[in-house]
Each structure stands twice: as C-alpha cells, then as structure tokens.
Structure 1
Amino acid sequence: MGMFAWIALVVAVVAVVAWYLSYTAARLDRLHTKLEGSVSSLDAQLVRRAEVVREVAGSGVLDPASAALLADAASASLDAADVASLHDEVRSDGIGEQRAETESMLTEVLRTTLTSDVIAELRDENAGWPEVIERLRSAGQRVEIARRFHNEAVRDVRRLRHRPQVRYLGLAGHTPLPAPVEFDDRLPDGL
C-alpha cells in the first residue's frame, strides 16, 4: 500500500472517530435539554396538584380539621415551588430533596384525609364534587407521569455519561450527574 493510501486511511479513521464523538456530545446535550424540560414539567404538575388540593380544602365540603390539614400541606407545597429555582443547568437533584419531602407530605395528607369512604360519601352527597375529584385524580396522575418521565430522562443521561468515551474525554463538561426524583406520589384509594 502506498503512502497516499495510508494517509487516506488515517484521515478516514480520524473523521469517523471525530464524527462519533461529535454525535455523542450532541446526543448528550439533547438528553440534558430533555432533562431540563422534564424538571420544568414536573414542577408545573406539582404546582397544579397543590392548587387543586387547595381548592378541595376551601370547598367547604370537608370537615374543618381535614380542610385545614389539606390547606396547610397545599400551601407548603406552593411555598416550596416558589422557593425552588430552576437553574440554567440541569439540577443534579431535580426538584430538590426538601421539596420532594414536602410533596411526599402532601400525598400523605391526601391519603389520610381523603379515604375511599370519604370520597364515596362526598361524591354521593355534594353537587359538583365529582368534577373536583376528577381534577384531583387527573392532577395526581399527571404528577406520577411527570416524575416517571423525569426519572427515565435521568436514567438515559446517566447511561450515556457512564460510557468510557464520555467520562474520559469529558464530553459532559462540568454538568453534575443527575439523580432521580423520589417521593411518594400515590393517589388516595378511591380516586
């Protein structure tokens, strides 16, 4: 093989490697963008759920103690949403550990105050209540879906970032490795 053939082969190999690294870096960037979007979506769904819970608490159909518990938990969730700031970069902890605890507490209060017996009784006795229950169920399901979608995006980013070429060549830059968001988001029985 002549010298020209060797040079052409080396140039071709370098071009393929450069293309692959460029493709991998672009894919990683797209995954990080998807992750940012999933955090924003999760944040929006959590706010929506808290607003619906506050509406349920203020509806006047629950006993005063249950209404107060729901209102306090919903207010804490909305306060946590106001405090949380979504950075320009991907947050390594998604919505934050404290906010995740606040959201778990809201879920726990929902399951404690809105038991299946209470929901069935309210559906039967109160006009307009089935629509409110449906909005609450829908908001809870959207939170579950948004959290799952976010955690799937985290898995995709982590899987790509654990590849040797990404780690050794620093294709991820200084972006922190994201962690999944874990909190209790199960709907109360009867919803």
Structure 2
Amino acid sequence: MPGMWWVVGTALVVGLVAAYLIWTAGRVDRLQTRAESAARALDAHLLRRAAAAAVLAEQRYGVELYAAARIALDAAPDEREAAENDLTRQLRAVELDPADASCEAVIAASRRLALARQVHTDLVRDARTARGRPLVRLFRMGRGQQWPRYFDIDDPTLTVPADVTTG
C-alpha cells in the first residue's frame, strides 16, 4: 500500500503542474489578445485625431497642419510614429481656442488618444512581461503570435492657453 500513495502523490503533482501550465497559457493568450485590441483602439484614435486636425487645418490653420494631418492619415505602419509625432508638433505650434468647435474636437481627440496610448502601453508591457517569463519561453507559449510592439510617440495631450480657458 505505501507504493499506492506514491502514485497518487505523483498524479496529484502532475495534475497541479498541468493546471498551472494551462492557466499560464490562457493568461498569456488573453494578455496578447488585449494588447492587440488596444493597438486597434489606439489606431482608431490616431485616425480620429488626424481627421479632426485636417478639418481644423482646412478651416483655419492652413497648409502645414493640413499636410501633417494628411501624412499621418496616409502613413505606412513603419512611418506612423514619425508622422504622428510631426502632427503633434504642428498642433502644439498653433493656438487652439476651446470655444471653437473644430479646435475642441482636436483637443478632445488628443485627450482620448493620450488615454488610449497609456492603456496600449500598459497592456503591451504586461503581455511582454508574461511572454518573457522562463516557463512561458520554455514551453513556447504564444509562439504563433508576434510580440506586441510599443507605439512610441510624444504625449499627444494639447495644452490650452490659460487666458482662453478662464476668459
């Protein structure tokens, strides 16, 4: 009978290790999926801001801002970060009046973009951390998926002059 306990104990340990590995694989997959969803949401917010900036440029601010917005809208994936940073610089160079609906649309889109960027960065960090763990690498969990990438842009939040907001 003592040999029977050895078999039961071994089966229990193997079952617990298998359950942990299944849980870990599910966690890695969920984090990867959430990071991909955050990337799509970030992309949508980038497009909204660029479109709002293009409308604003057509109405008030002219060629340079319009060109930056169009470049951001049409940029290839490998050129996207530079195009978005240029658009942010162009938006910071103009004086935005929050009383103007077009300016307010750009300001609001920039705020939402900043939040989407932060969520994306946090989820990418979590997914990369989970995939970088030794056990995950040993069992090659998540091997069918690309590593999530950070989207490295300047903080897109726009400041509004103090005298305009208190006026």
State the secondary structure of the residue aligned to 1:58.
Answer: helix
2:137 is aligned with 1:142: no
* Structure 1: 4+ residue segments shifted above 6 A: none
RMSD after superposition: 1.7
2:148 is aligned with 1:153: no
Q: Please give the alpha-carbon distance, in whole angstroms, between the structure 2 residues aligned to 1:53 and 1:180.
A: 24
Q: Please give the alpha-carbon distance, in whole angstroms, between the structure 1 residues aligned to 2:58 and 2:135.
A: 55
2:76 is aligned with 1:67: no
Runs (5+) with no aligned partner, structure 1: 85-95, 124-128
CA contact (8 A) 2:65 2:90 kept: yes
CA contact (8 A) 2:113 2:156 kept: no
Runs (5+) with no aligned partner, structure 2: 162-167
Identity %: 34
Q: Residue 91 of structure 1 aligns with which residue?
A: none
Q: Please give the alpha-carbon distance, in whole angstroms, between the structure 2 residues aligned to 1:179 and 1:35.
A: 9
TM-score (ref. length: structure 2): 0.88
2:132 is aligned with 1:169: no
2:115 is matched by which residue type in structure 1? I
Using the TM superposition, give the Cα deviation of residue 187 of structure 1 relative to its aligned residue in structure 2, in angstroms: 3.1
Q: Residue 165 of structure 2 aligns with which residue?
A: none
1:1-191 alignment runs, 5 A limit: 2-59=2-59, 62=60, 66-80=61-75, 83-84=76-77, 96=78, 98-112=79-93, 114-115=94-95, 119-120=96-97, 130-190=100-160
Using the TM superposition, give the Cα deviation of residue 185 of structure 1 relative to its aligned residue in structure 2, in angstroms: 3.4
TM-score (ref. length: structure 1): 0.78
Query: In the TM superposition, what whole-angstrom CA distance separates every residue of 1:30-77 from its partner, at most 9, and x where no partner exists?
Result: 111101101100110000001100110112xx3xxx411111011111
CA contact (8 A) 2:128 2:147 kept: yes
Using the TM superposition, give the Cα deviation of residue 174 of structure 1 relative to its aligned residue in structure 2, in angstroms: 4.1
Using the TM superposition, give the Cα deviation of residue 164 of structure 1 relative to its aligned residue in structure 2, in angstroms: 1.3
CA contact (8 A) 2:110 2:158 kept: no
Q: Please give the alpha-carbon distance, in whole angstroms, between the structure 2 residues aligned to 1:106 and 1:25.
A: 39
CA contact (8 A) 2:25 2:142 kept: yes
